[in-house]
Chains A and B, each alone.
Chain A
Amino acid sequence: EAQVTQNPRYLITVTGKKLTVTCSQNMNHEYMSWYRQDPGLGLRQIYYSMNVEVTDKGDVPEGYKVSRKEKRNFPLILESPSPNQTSLYFCASSPRGWTGDNTQYFGPGTRLTVL
């Protein structure tokens, strides 16, 4: 089944404890992206990747890191989480970046709480 998977789905952690949220897609998509969703603010892009080893900042990259060493994986790293990073996180992928039909497929979401 074609899908985007994220792990964990739920995470409660404490300030300053490094964490990684994994994202994987099995559709051989070139483009992958991370968003956070907060009430009243909609979806905001954190980082995106056009292809392996190509990443770029979105609208709210502060406090986050990403890597794209393989086409299928795009982990989101919080080196020192803070309470303002409590949010619902979505990973998404698309066959190609911005050429043609670039429908984005979303993962199930990760609800992160930082105490």
Chain B
Amino acid sequence: EDKVVQSPLSLVVHEGDTVTLNCSYEVTNFRSLLWYKQEKKAPTFLFMLTSSGIEKKSGRLSSILDKKELFSILNITATQTGDSAIYLCAVGTETSGSRLTFGEGTQLTVNP
């Protein structure tokens, strides 16, 4: 059974801090790993990673994948209160059609 585990489950920081969110996976025939941000509404897409070692970056957010060690990290630098959200990691495989397996999510709270 495909498995995606995120850590920590919850994190509280102060504005300006840098945070690292973790996502590890155990799947057969890995294809891609996706990160989503969920505020008080629907998840919005952040990154899709398919290759090891290639960093994807968008403003203060960046992410990288390690296919050998089966994990990804999402970094957020100089956090702002608007970064407060649930961050979801999802993995898709070559053999499961269009299915995505999601982790439990990391609840990030950024205090002023």
Contact = CB atoms under 8 A, between A and B. Distances in A.
B105 A90 contact: no
Nearest to B32: A102
Contacts of B76: none
Interface of A: 4, 31, 33, 35, 40-45, 48, 50, 56, 58-59, 90, 94, 97-98, 101-109
Given A103-B48, A104-B45, A106-B44, A48 B99 contact: yes
B8 interface: no
A45 B42 contact: no
Given A43-B88, A103-B48, A109 B98 contact: no
Contact of B101 (A59, A107, A109): A59
Q: Residue among A4, A43, A50, A105 with the most chain B CB within 10 A?
A: A43
A58 B92 CA distance: 12
B106 to A, nearest CB: 10
19 contacts: A33-B98, A42-B88, A42-B102, A43-B90, A43-B102, A44-B102, A45-B100, A48-B97, A48-B98, A50-B97, A50-B98, A98-B92, A102-B98, A103-B34, A104-B34, A106-B42, A107-B42, A108-B41, A108-B42
Interface of B is mostly: strand
Interface string B18-29: 000000000000
B90 to A, nearest CB: 7
